[in-house]
Structures are given as structure tokens and as C-alpha cells.
Amino acid sequence: MGQLSFYNFMKKNRILTALCLLGFVLGNAQSYIPTYATRANQVTQTNINTLLQEFETLGVKKTGTVANDNALQWIKNKYLGFGYTASQIQENPFSYFNGTGTTSSKNLIITKTGTLYPNTFVIICGHFDTITGPGVDDNGSGTAAILEVARILQSVPTEYSIKFIHFSGEEQGLKGSAAYVNDVVNATSPKMNIKLVFNLDQVGGKIGNNNNTIYCDQDQGGLTSNNAASQAVTQQLATCTTLYSPLLTAFDPAYSSDYIPFEQNGEVITGFYEYVRGYLEHTANDTLVNVDKPYVKNVAMAAVGAAQHFAVAQTTLSTTENSISDFDVQVYPIPTPSILNVDFVDTKNQKFEFQILDMTGKLMLNTTKKQMDISSLDNGIYIGKLKIGDRYFQKKIIVKK
Ligand SMILES: [Zn+2]
């Protein structure tokens, strides 16, 4: 290489470097995508509550028990109800020595094939087995959030394939996820290509606490080769959380959940975990009344946003998708002695107005704020009327001092 060509090479290389840097910046700059928000907004509190309630009713889902099998069947039926076909659903049986004999159980895997990268997978996972109690926080909460993601994305094209995986055997030491990595990921030829693993475990929060933050789990240990990539996707997870849910984010090290066998296999991992812990996991008190249901809903919204980002979902709404009709308006607390909150996400950022009428239809209050003091109203029942753009929502309000 002569001097001149070397100079030219350097010049070219600098441009390449600049392009790479630009690409790096662009690649990480996650702009708000209104369609992603519309889909995140399709998570409903009613669905979350129903899923958590049903999860509780399934009882103590200890690995190897009938209740554990019933839970797997319940999850499978949810997917069939969402429109996934039997050919998309697989069971992955595994067994392990429990000290005195063999315990057998199954993981459940649902595959949604990508349009551009069908052989590269975004894994969205969480365990459904519990121990001692019904495990509504650990891990009915993650299970409910994953089910909402799967429901909302069922008909949404994504560039990457998604595998929704519900692991069993987590409480016995990550038995199900370890078996899956060994028997499926590494036994596939060529080895399964995994873009990243996004694990949701224990996202129910602490009841009575203002749960406004979620931990985004970073790989800071184990193999060092995959740490930097985990930091990058965990940052993206945090950004998605901010863009598509009301939650704030914090970072913590990934540990002791189903992403760990993947981490040890060199995969890129991330996850969600409750920021303020209820500390009721693995007890009989890990029940519905002790879980912050709106928090689980917010986590599910963040997960819908992140899943779309990771799998690169179509950015236009298809005709088969629910539109803004799934607007979820929350008015709380009810009853209230004074402060009333109105909450909703409007991706179009339209003007809104909130009115309170008495039972005769007389206008008592008119505001454009999401929080108001209604302590001047007499005890009784009122109608709250929310107008967003040209749409109306009505909610019953009770004033009780
Ligand atoms: Zn757990």
C-alpha cells in the first residue's frame, strides 16, 4: 500500500467510522412510535385482574403436581383463545432428580414467526410454577403480563420471530429453563439463534406502596462476553418503559430467574422485576389481595412496548387490530373524600375535558386537569364524564367523607 492510497484508506476509514457511529446512535435512538403506544394501551386492567384471579384459583402450582399441569393447560387455552394455532404451541417435557425420585413437568412454548428474520428469536418468558402459595406475584404477575403481550401482538407482523415461553420448575432451581437451553436451544441444528431473552418475574409490587418504578435487570455477572450486549438491550428496555408506560425505571443485576441458564449459554438477557418488593413470594400470602394490580397493568404496557421494539413490530395498525376503542380510562379512588384522579393514555394527545354531574344531570365541576379536589361535593353518587377528542367515557364516582 503506497502512501497516497494509505491516506485514501484512512480517509475512507474515517467516513466508515463516522457512519458506524451514526448508525450506532441511530440504532439506539428509540423514537416514540404512536402505533406501539396504541398497542401498549390495549392492555386492560380487566384482563390483568381476570388473569391474576384465575391464576390464584389454580392454587399451589408446585412443579410435578396436578395443579401445575392444570396451569399449563390454562395458559395453553388462553393462547388458543387469542387466535394462536395448535401448530404454534409446543410442550417441552423435562424431568429431574428431586432427592428421592424423579419429578416431571413441562414448559410451554408459543412461536410467532417473523417476517424478515424467521430464524432469529426474541424470547419473552416467565415461570408459572409456584411453591407454598398460589404465587400471584411470583409469578402470576409475569404470566399475566406475557399473556397480554401475546394477545395484543397475535395479529401484528414482527420482523423477528417471538417465542413466548412459560417455564416450570423455576422454584426448584431453574429446572425448566435449564432443560430448555440444553434440550432445545443447544440441541437444535444449527443452534437456535436468539436475539435476546426478556424475562418477567415477580412484577406485582408491594401492596399499599406507590409502585411507580420497575427494575430493568442487567447481566452484570456470569460470563463476561455477553454483559455489554445485555446493558445495551436493558437500556432499550428502560427507554421503552418510559415511552409506553407510566412507569419510571431503575437498574439491578440479573439473578436467580429463568434468564440465568441462557446467560450461562452466552445469550443476551434482560428482564423486569418489581422495584419495591412485597416479600410475600414463596408464602401462602402471595395472593391477589397482596398484589398491586394497576402496577401489573403498567408493567404489561411496558412489556408490550418493549416486545414490539425488540421484535420490530409493524409500525402501522392493521385492520384486524383493535383500534383506540380499547382506550382504558381509570378514575380513582372510588369512593373518595377529596382527591379524584382521571388517567388514560391518548396517543393522539387530543384535548380532554372532565365533568362531574350529579344524578339529576346538573354540572357540578368542569376541569381539564387529571387530578382534582372534589371535597366541596356532598356525600353521594355522581357521574364522571370524560371527553377526549370526540369520544366520551362515563364512570360512576362516589364521594364519601
Ligand atoms: Zn419467580
Ligand 1 mean position to 60 CA, how many Å? 13
> Same domain, yes or no, for 105 and 5?
no
Q: What is the mean pLDDT of residues 238-264?
A: 95
Ligand 1 mean position to 201 CA, how many Å? 5
Q: Is residue 374 part of a domain?
A: yes
Distance CA 96, CA 203 (A): 28
Q: What is the mean pLDDT of residues 253-263?
A: 97
Ligand 1 mean position to 91 CA, how many Å? 20
> Same domain, yes or no, for 162 and 43?
yes
Looking at the predicted structure, is the pLDDT value of residue 396 above 50?
yes
Looking at the predicted structure, is the pLDDT value of residue 25 above 70?
no
To the nearest whole percent, how much of the chain has pLDDT over 90?
76
Buried b (16+ CB within 10 A) or exposed e, 35-71: bbbbbbbbbbbebbbebbeebbebbbbbbbbebbeeb
Report pLDDT for 164. Answer: 99
Report pLDDT for 38. Answer: 86
Ligand 1 mean position to 152 CA, how many Å? 24
Ligand 1 mean position to 343 CA, how many Å? 30
Report pLDDT for 28. Answer: 47
Ligand 1 mean position to 159 CA, how many Å? 30
Q: Is residue 316 part of a domain?
A: no
CA distances from 126 to 57, 110, 136, 174, 325 (A): 19, 13, 13, 11, 29
Ligand 1 mean position to 360 CA, how many Å? 50
Q: Looking at the 3D structure of the chain, how many domains does it have?
A: 3
Q: Is residue 74 part of a domain?
A: yes
Report pLDDT for 327. Answer: 60
Q: Is residue 359 part of a domain?
A: yes
Position 274, amino acid: E
> Same domain, yes or no, for 286 and 362?
no
Q: What is the pLDDT of residues 120-142, one digit of tens each?
A: 999 999 999 999 999 999 999 99
> Same domain, yes or no, for 154 and 98?
yes
Ligand 1 mean position to 275 CA, how many Å? 14
Q: pTM of the predicted model, to two decimals?
A: 0.76
Ligand 1 mean position to 352 CA, how many Å? 40
Given a contact cutoff of 8 angstroms between Cβ atoms, the answer to whether 53 and 288 are in contact is yes
To the nearest whole percent, how much of the chain has pLDDT over 70?
89
Domain that holds residue 138: 35-311
Ligand 1 mean position to 277 CA, how many Å? 12
Position 263, amino acid: E
Report pLDDT for 2. Answer: 36
Ligand 1 mean position to 363 CA, how many Å? 49
Q: What is the pLDDT of residues 215-236, one digit of tens each?
A: 999 999 999 999 999 999 999 9
Torsion of CA 79, 172, 104, 110, to 10 degrees: 20
Rounded to 5 degrees, φ, ψ at 218 are -110, 145
Given a contact cutoff of 8 angstroms between Cβ atoms, the answer to whether 195 and 120 are in contact is yes
**Residue 106 CB contacts under 8 Å (≥ 6 apart), including other chains:** 69, 72, 91, 92, 93, 94, 168
Q: What is the pLDDT of residues 328-367, one digit of tens each?
A: 778 889 899 999 999 888 877 888 889 898 877 778 999 9
Distance CA 297, CA 320 (A): 23
Q: Is residue 320 part of a domain?
A: no
Report pLDDT for 373. Answer: 94
Q: Is residue 323 part of a domain?
A: no
Ligand 1 mean position to 46 CA, how many Å? 23
Ligand 1 mean position to 289 CA, how many Å? 18
Ligand 1 mean position to 138 CA, how many Å? 4
> Same domain, yes or no, for 161 and 26?
no
Q: Is residue 324 part of a domain?
A: no
Residue ending a domain, among 311, 338, 356, is 311
Place of cell 394462536: 84
